[in-house]
Amino acid sequence: MIGNNMNEVSVIGLGAMGSTLAQVLLGNGYRVTVWNRTTAKAEPLVRDGAVLAQSAASAVGASPIVVVCVLDYKATNEILGTKEVASALAGRVLVQLTTGSPQEARDGEVWARERGADHLDGAILAAPSQMARPDTMILVSGAESAFRRSEPVLKVFGGNVKYLGEQVGSASAMDLATLSYVYGGMLGFIHGARIAETEGFGVDQYGSLVAEISPTFGEFFQHEGTVIQSGNYEVSESPLKISVEATERLAQAAREGGINSEIPTFASGFFKRAVAAGYENEEVAALIKVLRSSEESGKAA
């Protein structure tokens, strides 16, 4: 019989993130059952009151909410793919906080439902040290009933829980999409650091400038998202041709300054393709049409 006490949570996976999740649950008065492939990692948590399950199946059977946070879905499938686990799953909510793809989330939901359980897919947009903060963002998607049952636990992990709806792949999709934005910014940041270094400007000060402009640029990208969603590319904030000039200027300055110009040259090339396609007098978000047309023509890399 499943414990009706929603104060009982099991955590499977006690790596950097999993052990942090178990720790914050203990700190919030939950009865926490833990399991990890390498048992030794459970010791500090047991000292703090966690119960060590003798198997993954008994960890699943111990609580109505089962948080999984391991390296990848391959590890998840190795841990949960036994008949003992399958017979312990019925009626539980698997809260999958392992990084995965939208398709892995969809497959996980089918797998769980076949065994009478719910699969809520989540993505933690923070590092272990940032957990349990009011602004820590956790994206979740899947059956709303599963979300409602798990919401109090998720709120312990982070105050900014965003339920993205019943399409179970959404959390992983938005995890990947925000990661894409971060890595695009990372490339730009690193190139900017070279500019700072060659101009004898403190890269730490440059980093502070970046931090100060980030909220403003967050608003700008939010607007560009509404442009793409609406399909109306009339110039509203920034005509694409300004970015053509800006990225070419970056590449040119790099070449003249003797620093690596690969990143701005790559960016400039994309904007030049948008000009060639006739978008220069449209809003800069029209750049997405370069991606779409390359996919349609099968030229996507």
Give buried/exposed letters for 9-38 (b at 16+ CB in 10 A, else e): bbbbbbbebbbbbbbbbbebebbbbbbbee
Determine contact, residues 10/60, Cβ cutoff 8 Å.
yes
Q: What is the 3-state secondary structure (H, E, C) of 149-179?
A: HHHHHHHHHCCEEEECCCCCCHHHHHHHHHH
**Is 206 strand, coil or helix?**
helix
Q: Which stretch binds ligand FVH (CB under 6 A): 71-79, 150-158, 197-205, 238-246?
A: 71-79
Interface mask toward ligand FVH for 119-158; x: CB under 6 A:
-----x--xx------------------------------
State the number of binding residues for ligand FVH (CB under 6 A): 22
Determine contact, residues 49/25, Cβ cutoff 8 Å.
no
Rounded CA-CA distance 251/269 in Å is 10
User: Which residue's C-beta sits nearest to ligand FVH?
Assistant: 15
Among 4, 38, 229, 297, binds ligand FVH (CB under 6 A): 38
Among 6, 28, 37, 270, binds ligand FVH (CB under 6 A): 37
Please identify, using beta-carbon distances, which residue of 33 and 98 lies nearer to ligand FVH.
98
The reply to whether 80 sits near ligand FVH by the rule CB under 6 A is no
Rounded CA-CA distance 50/139 in Å is 26
Among 9, 11, 17, 117, binds ligand FVH (CB under 6 A): 17
Closest CA to 97 of 153, 44, 23: 153
The reply to whether 71 sits near ligand FVH by the rule CB under 6 A is yes
Instruction: Report which residue type is found at 84.
Output: E
Please identify, using beta-carbon distances, which residue of 109 and 282 lies nearer to ligand FVH.
109
Among 6, 75, 176, 253, binds ligand FVH (CB under 6 A): 75
The reply to whether 182 sits near ligand FVH by the rule CB under 6 A is no
Please identify, using beta-carbon distances, which residue of 97 and 250 lies nearer to ligand FVH.
97
The site for ligand FVH (CB under 6 A) is made up of 13-18, 36-38, 41, 69-72, 75, 78-79, 98-99, 124, 127-128
